[in-house]
Amino acid sequence: MVYGLAALISFAIVFASVPPLRMLALHLGFVDRPNHRKIHNEPIPLMGGAAIFVGCVITMFIFIGFTPLTWTIVTGGTVLVIIGLIDDGTKAKGKDFPVWPRLILYIATASIPSMFHISIAGITNPVTNQFIWFPDWFSWLTTMLWVFGLINMINFIDGVDGLASGVCTLSALTLLTLALIKGQSSTAILAVIVAGVSFGFLVHNFYPARIFMGDAGATFLGFTLAVIAVAGTSKRATFISLLVPLLALGLPIFDTAYVMLRRLISGKSLHRADKLHTHHILMKWGLSQVQTVSFLYLIAALFALLSIILLLVIS
């Protein structure tokens, strides 16, 4: 009952707040303008990330309260949404926001979970069944790399109407299922809230999109999903069990790895935007936006199913 109510409230907040934010963005010219790399032909409002953030934070405090987990999301999320809105606003003016300030802030934000003692603490030796504690610096580093990676990965796949919001909905529902199997109520509540805000936004973001989440929304969702995955990792995790969250978030991880490899091979800059992502390739093959997104939803669902099966097998 509580999970359904949390999902409903988070969904309703985002669903109701998007239309006025959309009108405000159009009035201010806060829009994503078409160019040679974009697939839309008209300016699309960019303030969706603000609705996602507000919906998540309000619902989170209602159902979870003030905990290290919620403060992690609020602290890191606030930084990401602010820098994301600045980045989106710069793009709306036809300019590019410098890469290095963003990377520095992303790294700083990725370090926040460890400050609240949410980190990858160690791993269980599969042979001796003894828990091996990571040194503090290594625990911080692995957690930071995981969170930093997801912040960027969700942003990378946000290139087709409804793709990022739909994949985040599926990933959050998967993490919800994993948390329920483990009996982790706090991470389960947060996961269902992320599913609610993502789906509430997806209603407005599916083709033809009436609003985009922008960098503010994509980086916030990536950060939150990464934190949920770390918080939900068992303190006695084995190497195999660490594959569970990797599979739950398999699509953005696979897409990013594929794109980075192709950029390295071709000698291109790793952070330079291009059309090497999976959704771009599928559309080059002749698939429509809806067909592309539907196919990638299916792939994400298969990854989700594999993660659930793996958890059930090792439990």
Each of the 315 residues of the chain gets a pLDDT tens digit; together they read: 899 999 999 999 999 999 999 999 999 999 988 766 666 668 899 999 999 999 999 999 999 999 999 999 999 999 999 999 999 999 888 888 888 888 999 999 999 999 999 998 887 766 666 777 889 999 999 999 999 999 999 988 888 899 999 999 999 999 999 999 988 999 999 999 999 999 999 999 999 999 999 999 999 999 999 999 999 875 555 555 567 778 888 888 888 888 778 777 776 665 566 566 787 788 888 889 999 999 999 999 999 999 999 888 876
What pLDDT, on a 0 to 100 scale, did the predictor assign at position 267?
67
Is 273 a member of any domain?
A: no
What pLDDT, on a 0 to 100 scale, did the predictor assign at position 221?
97
* pTM (2 d.p.): 0.91
As a whole number of angstroms, the distance between CA 199 and CA 193 comes to 10
Is 309 a member of any domain?
A: no
Is 173 a member of any domain?
A: yes
CA of residue 230 relative to chain centroid, distance: 13
Is 264 a member of any domain?
A: no
Is 73 a member of any domain?
A: yes
As a whole number of angstroms, the distance between CA 130 and CA 99 comes to 43
Is 58 a member of any domain?
A: yes
Is 288 a member of any domain?
A: no
What pLDDT, on a 0 to 100 scale, did the predictor assign at position 234?
54
Residue 262, number of CB atoms within 10 A of its CB: 14
What pLDDT, on a 0 to 100 scale, did the predictor assign at position 270?
54
The DSSP line for the chain is -HHHHHHHHHHHHHHHHHHHHHHHHHHHT-EE---TT-S-SS-EE-THHHHHHHHHHHHHHHHT-S-HHHHHHHHHHHHHHHHHHHHHHHHHTT----HHHHHHHHHHHHTHHHHTT-S--EEE-TTT--EEEPPHHHHHHHHHHHHHHHHHHHHHHTTSTTHHHHHHHHHHHHHHHHHHHHT-HHHHHHHHHHHHHHHHHHHHHSSSPS---HHHHHHHHHHHHHHHHHHTS-TT-BTTTTHHHHHHTHHHHHHHHHHHHHHHHHT--TTS--S-SHHHHHHHTT--HHHHHHHHHHHHHHHHHHHHHHHHHH-
- The tokens 């009996």 sit on which residue? 183
By the 8 A CB rule, do 10 and 196 touch?
Answer: yes
Domain that holds residue 99: 2-238
How many domains, in total, are found in the chain?
A: 1
Is 278 a member of any domain?
A: no
What pLDDT, on a 0 to 100 scale, did the predictor assign at position 315?
64
By the 8 A CB rule, do 48 and 201 touch?
Answer: yes
As a whole number of angstroms, the distance between CA 140 and CA 134 comes to 9
**Alpha carbon distances (Å) from 41 to 37, 220, 310:** 11, 26, 43
By the 8 A CB rule, do 195 and 176 touch?
Answer: yes
Using N-to-C axis directions, what is the helix angle for 214-231 and 163-182, rounded to 10°? 20
What pLDDT, on a 0 to 100 scale, did the predictor assign at position 284?
83
